[in-house]
Structure 1
Amino acid sequence: MRNTHHREFAVPAPVLGALLDGLPQRLWPGDRWPPSRLDDGLAVGSRDRHGPIRYTVVEYEPGRRLRFAFDPTIGLDGFHEFRVEEVGAGRSRLVHDMGGRLHGAMVLGWPLAFRWLHDALLRDLLDNAERAATGAVRRPARWSPYVRLLRSLASRRRPAVART
């Protein structure tokens, strides 16, 4: 399985690099998705989880690249990473790349549900990056009807949490 998202910005690479270094707080769309919290900050060995997905930081080059390895017990042996790339003349690109081998329930879970949710989450994250880097989002992402259906089904399965 391979999945890549990217967006180009009219800002120099160090601007995007600073946003990457603020992950998850500055870019993560936590208002719309399960929270992402690195247990030991942005450092190699730090673990994170959002929803059922768990992973660990395995490589970090400040301002340039951040790579995570998935916990294989989720049904995915692989990685996901963010990279900042210069594309010339004060322009740069934020890339999210993911790859790996699916097994167990994820063989069906990825193509039927997780892929669609992942793609929607990444588009929301790239909107946050664009807003933070440029002050506005030219074409905000919209969830497809299928993503809205999956989100609705998932919210019905979560146990109610008492509010105090």
Structure 2
Amino acid sequence: MKVRNVHQRTLDASGTQVGALIDGLAQRGDRLWPEERWPQLRFDRPLGAGAVGGHGPVRYVIEAYAPGRGIRCRFTAPRGFLGTHGFEVEDAGGGRTVLRHVLEMRTTGPALLSWPLVFRPLHDALIEDALDRAERSVGMKPAGARWSVWVRVLRRVLRGRG
């Protein structure tokens, strides 16, 4: 199954400010990743092509990184996730900037079920939490993404596994 999943927010901030949020991923003081609610994002070295990392069971390698502009990672796990995801910055004019997360992949094998039933709802909630965090980081008041009942159930069940 082919998947394209896009989340974005237009922020009242310059491209430099928004790009700095991407540049701070997995660093001390990360202002984008919602680590207070989700597994911590980690890489084996500073951001750059070839760095290996991920969060929870989702693993990837950084395929491309342009400081202040974007990052793209290629999935290495879970099994059946064949593709990329990452953040990008786009000028929206008038001192505003779009922060976008794009996931493009093909699912095979177990991911034909695990993506739509488990990973997609969790992914969507995590990215919306990250975008809320981005808004707060640039001084905006986010509407506040709300988790669905299914996301709350999945988190409870998965937390009980470990």
Structure 1 residue runs without a partner (length 5+): 159-164
2:106 maps to 1:106: no
TM-score relative to the length of structure 1: 0.92
TM-score relative to the length of structure 2: 0.93
Superposed displacement of residue 137, structure 1 = 2.6
Q: Which residue of 1 aligns with 2:42?
A: 37
In 2, the alpha carbon distance for the partners of 1:33 and 1:129 equals 15
What is the number of residues matched between the two proteins? 157
Q: Which residue of 2 aligns with 1:71?
A: 76
2:26 maps to 1:21: no
* CA contact 1:53–1:74 (8 Å) conserved in 2: no
Q: Which residue of 2 aligns with 1:4?
A: 6
Q: Which residue of 2 aligns with 1:95?
A: 100
In 1, the alpha carbon distance for the partners of 2:32 and 2:10 equals 15
User: Higher Cα Rg: structure 1 or 2?
Assistant: 1
Percent of aligned positions with the same letter in both sequences?
45
Question: Which one has a larger percent strand, Structure 1 or Structure 2?
Answer: 2
Superposed displacement of residue 73, structure 1 = 5.6
In 2, the alpha carbon distance for the partners of 1:130 and 1:120 equals 15
Q: Structure 1: which 4+ aligned runs deviate by more than 2 Å? A: none
Q: Secondary structure at the match of 2:54?
A: strand
Q: CA RMSD in A?
A: 1.1
* CA contact 2:58–2:77 (8 Å) conserved in 1: no
Structure 2 residue runs without a partner (length 5+): none
